Amino acid sequence: MIEPRVRTDSPPLVTAASLAYPVLDLALFAVALRLMLGSGRRPTSFFLLAYNLLAFMAADSIYVLQQLGGTYGAGNFLDAIWLSGNIALGAAGLHPSMAVLGEPGPAKEQSLGPSRIAALTAAALVAPTMLLVQHGRGAFHDIPVIAAACAVLFLLTIARLVVMVVEQRRLAVTDVLTGLCTRRYFEAHLPQAMARCERAGRPLAVFIIDIDHFKSINDRYGHPVGDRVLVETATRLRRAVREGDVLARYGGEEFALLALDVDRAAVTGMAERLRAAVGGMPVELSTADRAWVTVSVGAAGGDGVGRSPQQLIADADRALYAAKAMGRDRVALGDELEHAPAVDRAAALQYLHAVAERVDRLLSNQPHGRPVGRWARLVCQRLGAAEATCADAELAGRLHDIGKIVLPESILAKPTALSEAEWALMRQHPDHGYRLIRAVAGMGEIAEIVREHHERLDGTGYPRGLAGTEIRFEARVIAVCDAWATMRSDRPYQSPLNTEEALRQLRDGSGGQFDPQVVDAFVELVEQGRIDELTTGSGRPLRA
């Protein structure tokens, strides 16, 4: 329809008008396809509008073909099609459902299935196929048109790929709920920023912000309201930070901020600004309820870098826990803690052990942390690890579930399967445990092991999705011991497995969830009778 019009001897304006019909009909067809294949609503006005677009495209196409064949005459059936299309357009505009036509419909998974891939491939091959056909016939026509079509198709494909890559990158570094950066992006960006600042002699500071008593908000109002509090807190923090600062959601109710060009004198003022931004006015929990939400802020830095990213975060973390210990809704600086009286490490360890014991009692009437630590030492010894490694594995195994202390007891003791929202909270406990243990001087390595004990060898674990040897050896050992203790425990949501069933599950998970070397060593210890039975609170052994 396009090519014959180009070759006519008509005046330029007449030729342009004639070409406009098929060219714009293609655009009309694209709009109609986008409308019909989109995920929007399907009210009556939708069908009226779709008919209008398709009727105009069909009538215009037939009109051009009749003109080319010399058969067009005014007043034929095309006028009826154009008229019906106009009537449908007017009816769509007047119909009450037109007001909701632009509202988004239910979200659909956007994926390139086989049918879409086949259609895109066929469309991309139309122009080359035409060239091959013409080559076979020995006659070439419309080469400029085919070349232009190929160029347009390729440009559209490249543009779509660029949009998809940009969107995937955005999703990878953006927290879905709050719209802030993710923790992974923050931790990846921090070393780069520190290196640049160290070369340029510029100061920077890290702030970790935690919502006070967030657990009580979830327990009292429910998780949807808790999510609303998180979103509102993120919004207020975003307004308080400067352009170029990196604000991220660091954990469940924790946020982290990387601020450049903040010297020591300005750290306290900036931390106070963050605290005041959140607690300055109440948060609307519902149409009838409002609550004052406060945050505690831990800060570190403000001078020349001179330390590793891990040390900087650890200092801010310790400052955060100091702020909470001082009563919450306040600011603490990590550098000031260095001059504070040292905490008795033995007393701190005794407290951590007590917390771990309480978690065990909440989960079951059988011990959990102690046997996991004991077995972890045995496995490490079996694999020839150094004594220091064996000791770290035992202590980390003893404390691996300590982060569950911040979870609602209703989740820990729930007799049925957890919901997706409850699982989301449960998957945060390695991070909570990491922070609790990291607050004790000299316990950084133990804290890291605890944070990684739910990572999987295939990279599908949590909280950071580590894989293979990225996971610490001690954490891989504890993962197997923890799984065995869980399978052999009598929990509210499960009955214990016997020895054969538990061994089979360990072997099934070898290479995917668990380190095969660790599984083999653990199985050998079980077969040798060196993995002792769990006992109830009264000391009775669990029956196999």
pLDDT of residue 348: 78
pLDDT of residue 172: 78
Angle between helix 309-325 and 183-200 (nearest 10): 110
What order do you get walking across the sheet with 295-303 strand by strand? Answer: 246-249, 254-260, 204-211, 295-303, 331-333
Contact 400, 372 (CB under 8 A): yes
Q: How far apart are CA 296 and CA 326, in angstroms?
A: 10
pLDDT band at 342, cuts 50/70/90?
Answer: very low
Per-residue pLDDT of 495-512, as tens digits, reads: 788 989 999 999 999 999
Contact 334, 300 (CB under 8 A): yes
SS3 335: helix
For 236, the token pair is 């207020």
pLDDT band at 230, cuts 50/70/90?
Answer: very high
DSSP letter, residue 456: -
Between 215 and 175, residue with greater pLDDT: 175
Mean pLDDT of 59-80: 85
Across 44-48, 291-295, 362-366, 469-473, least confident range: 362-366
pLDDT of residue 544: 29
Which parts of 364-443 fold into alpha helices (H)?
A: 369-382, 387-399, 409-412, 420-426, 429-438
Across 70-74, 112-116, 514-518, least confident range: 112-116
For 237, the token pair is 């923090």
pLDDT of residue 492: 61
In the predicted structure, residue 542 carries a pLDDT above the cut 50: no
In the predicted structure, residue 440 carries a pLDDT above the cut 80: no
Per-residue pLDDT of 361-405, as tens digits, reads: 888 777 889 999 999 999 999 999 999 899 999 999 999 999 988
pLDDT band at 481, cuts 50/70/90?
Answer: very high
Residue 440 CB neighbours (<10 A): 20
Burial class (CB in 10 A: 0-12, 13-18, 19+), 354: exposed
Nearest Cα to 89, choosing from 101, 75, 78, 77?
Answer: 101
pLDDT of residue 343: 52
Mean pLDDT of 410-432: 83
Burial class (CB in 10 A: 0-12, 13-18, 19+), 332: buried
Nearest Cα to 427, choosing from 471, 462, 478, 467?
Answer: 462
Q: How far is CA 468 from CA 430, 446, 472, 485, 515, in A?
A: 18, 19, 9, 23, 8
pLDDT of residue 396: 94
Per-residue pLDDT of 74-104, as tens digits, reads: 888 989 999 999 999 999 999 988 887 776 6
Spatial neighbors of 399 by CB under 8 A, at least 6 apart, are 352, 353, 356, 369, 373, 433, 437, 446, 450
Q: What is the mean pLDDT of the chain?
A: 84
Q: Is the pTM of this model over 0.95?
A: no
CA atoms within 13 A on the CB side of 331: 18
Q: How far apart are CA 468 and CA 450, in angstroms?
A: 17
Mean pLDDT of 12-33: 82
Contact 417, 435 (CB under 8 A): no
Per-residue pLDDT of 109-149, as tens digits, reads: 555 667 777 877 887 788 788 888 888 888 777 777 778 87
pLDDT band at 19, cuts 50/70/90?
Answer: confident
Mean pLDDT of 178-192: 90
pLDDT band at 535, cuts 50/70/90?
Answer: low
pLDDT band at 305, cuts 50/70/90?
Answer: low
Contacts 24+ apart (CB under 8 A), 407-416: 407/215, 407/432, 408/215, 408/218, 408/219, 409/362, 410/219, 412/359, 412/362, 412/363, 413/362, 413/363, 413/492, 414/492, 414/493, 415/492, 415/493, 416/493
Contact 313, 190 (CB under 8 A): yes
In the predicted structure, residue 536 carries a pLDDT above the cut 50: no
End-to-end CA gap in the chain: 80
